[in-house]
Amino acid sequence: MSEIVFYDIPGKTEDTKAWSPSTWRTRYSLNFKGIPYRTEWVEYPEIEKVCKEIGAEPTDKSPDGKPLYTFPVIHDPSTNTILSDSTPIAEYLDKTYPDSPKLFPPGTKGFHAAFDSAFYSILARTPSLWNLVALGACTNLTPRSEAFFRDTFWRRRCDETTPIEELAGSEGSERKEQNWREVEADWVKIGTWYEASGGLFLTGGETPCYADIVLAAWLVWARQSWGKGSEDWKRLERLDGGRWGRFMKAFEKYEAVV
């Protein structure tokens, strides 16, 4: 089969080469399934232009009502398909490459949708993880992308009244501890689902499914934003008896950036 072209957003260092938590879902999916692909790196301000050029559909609307173009996007020459958005891409990959490992094990599509509701109702309730990773995430972009990201995405999604530099709170401050208390409560709660599964991953074994990838994509983003050796990352790794440290350790084999 011909190589898939995977459109991704670059970070500015070797350690944060693949920058976005949304595109990480697709990178993990492709690596997990072992499907050959190459990456087309596109800076934030060019995403809309590239999508229009290749005919990728917008995934949402801007507050001003205009179509919003986002990555990930894939182009699969073997089926002449251009597809936007991580979950449709994952479904497409399962359908088009049925001999590769399944992202959605049989009978779990409905459960995956409920999982999404559960996960995003937790993330939406507390902006604490955003607060803690925001500054590192921004400054891991190239200057052009960083300026664009601050001006558009961040303004649309986040607390506009507090400068990004102040969201996390300084080391040891009550603001930072409050953010951490919320992050800890959220990820301990998510941990109860994994405890119920009886295994490392949500289906109860050692093989991840798409729901695990959704979490890993957030966690890898947090890890990159803080740095792997940072106290913040170590704190998340240690949480809940080391659950998320073990979880991300097991994901390392799917983290190749090609």
**Binding stretches for its own copies (CB under 8 A):** 105-115, 117-119, 121-122, 189, 192-199, 201-205, 211
Min dist CB 90 to its own copies, Å, is 12
- Our CB check for its own copies shows the closer of 115 and 251 to be 115
**Eight-state DSSP code of residue 102:** P
Nearer to its own copies, 65 or 110 (CB): 110
Question: Could you tell me whether strands 4-8 and 73-76 are parallel, antiparallel, or unpaired per DSSP bridges?
Answer: antiparallel
Q: How far apart are CA 86 and CA 203, in angstroms?
A: 20
Find the shortest distance in angstroms from Cβ 194 to its own copies: 6
Give CA–CA dist 156/142, Å, rounded: 20
Question: Is-contact 36 46, C-beta < 8 A?
Answer: no
Measured from the CB of residue 148, what is the shortest distance to its own copies in angstroms?
A: 32
CB of 88 to its own copies, least distance (A): 12
C-beta closer to its own copies: residue 92 or 193 = 193
Cβ-based nearer residue to its own copies, 122 or 158 = 122
Angstrom distances, CA of residue 31 to CA of 34, 124, 226, 248: 5, 29, 24, 15
Q: How far is the CB of 112 from its own copies (least distance, A)?
A: 7
- Cα–Cα distance, 30 to 194 (Å, whole number): 24
Q: Closer to its own copies at the Cβ: 103 or 138?
A: 103
First to last CA, the chain: 18
- CA 122 to chain CA mean position, Å: 15
